[in-house]
Structure 1
Amino acid sequence: MTDESLRTSVTMAALAGGTVAAWTALPEYVDGRWKRLAARGALLATSSVGVVLASDSEPTPHPDRDEKLAALSRRLEDPVQRTAIWLIALVGLSAVSSIEEKALDAAAARFEARGARSPRTSLGLALGAIAAGTQLAPPSKKSTTA
């Protein structure tokens, strides 16, 4: 691993951890559904810009990934398929987000009942640390048996 790729990995880990922690803790600091939606939109936009700025200038070629991205790009050229993919992604993310929010609310309520102050912030920091760790974990070695 080069110094540049290590710096990129650490930066990506900090972005992932910070984004997850802030996303999770946000309801404790921002009241109102629409205000939270705007704050989370700003958080995602800021994080996305950070990812673009921090990403390697020359990614390592990966034939399987590159072919999958090329196939997806070809599908996105058709407006009907592009709309269908975005709608499926939007519905899927909304469902996952709703389930995730309910689980976080339940966990935060349990922590609060035990006397914890700012339980969503505590959960966010723990989840952010896990997200950062996944960015720093070495890639798994696939067996190459034939």
Structure 2
Amino acid sequence: MSAFRRRLPLGDRTTTAVLVAAAVSVAYSLVVLGYSLLPSSGVSISGTLWHAVAIQSAFALGTVGVPVFLWLRADLKSPAVLLAAILLFWHVLVEFPPIGSGQGDSPGFLFVFVFAPVYVLAYALLAAGEYWIGKRDVSIPV
């Protein structure tokens, strides 16, 4: 990753990070919509498909795109770790009866999108903490 950052100027690195984050957000939304369109999912989409893609992509940008952007642009990995925990919880652990009902993970997709503002706040706090800790001189004098 560091070699990638050294080759691109600051403006190009930011543009690349924004484009990749937007593409990942749209891709995640399309995967969710693809699952929702399966007859066995029991999920219905109200309104047009294009509105659903636009709205879910906007929420996915907050949930999935922000950690990808922070990782690519500023090399901050803690938001990506939180993203992995969020996706693991809502898509895997909710499926099993101790936590979930075992009836499918379509509600998990909803909560990944609905709590996007909370996730953005958590990403910002983690990124600020990682940045602050990374800037501190924690070396032990000999």
Indicate the TM-score class for this superposition, using the shorter chain for normalisation.
Answer: under 0.3
The structure showing larger relative contact order (alpha-carbon pairs under 8 Å, at least 6 residues apart) is 1
